[in-house]
Amino acid sequence: MEAHTAAGAKLKARVDAGRWIVDCDCGAGNSTHPEWGIALCYGCGAVREKVKFPKEWKGVEKELLRRPETVTRNWLSGETVAALKRENAEHGVGND
């Protein structure tokens, strides 16, 4: 199998259980990170060179890291930092 650069629109990253990922067309979840900006798929060989991250990604990480359970550290594209703060407050996750 040959690696190929995936064409088309930028994939939007999301956070799943504390990890930045993108959903590949083949169905695999590929690890990524705002500081990398790329994702590689070990399922189909796609190379994604333009993954889209939120401008406020550090704020997203800050709020998610307040959550003691890793499985609850989830974020979807479009969710605001304010929404994460509100969810944290609703679940008794304290601020600084």
Q: Which residues bind Zn ion (CB under 5 A)?
A: 24, 26, 28, 41, 43-44, 46
Q: Name which of 30 and 81 has its Cβ closer to Zn ion.
A: 30
Q: DSSP per residue over the chain, as a string?
A: ---EE--SSPPBPEEETTEEEEE-TTS-EEE--TTT--EE-TTT-EEES--B--TTHHHHHHHHHT-SSGGG--B-TT--HHHHHHHHHHTT----
Closer Cβ to Zn ion, 36 or 83, answer by number: 36
Q: Which is nearer to Zn ion, 26 or 82 (CB)?
A: 26
CB of 4 to Zn ion, least distance (A): 10
CB of 92 to Zn ion, least distance (A): 38
* Least distance between Zn ion and beta carbon 21 (Å): 12
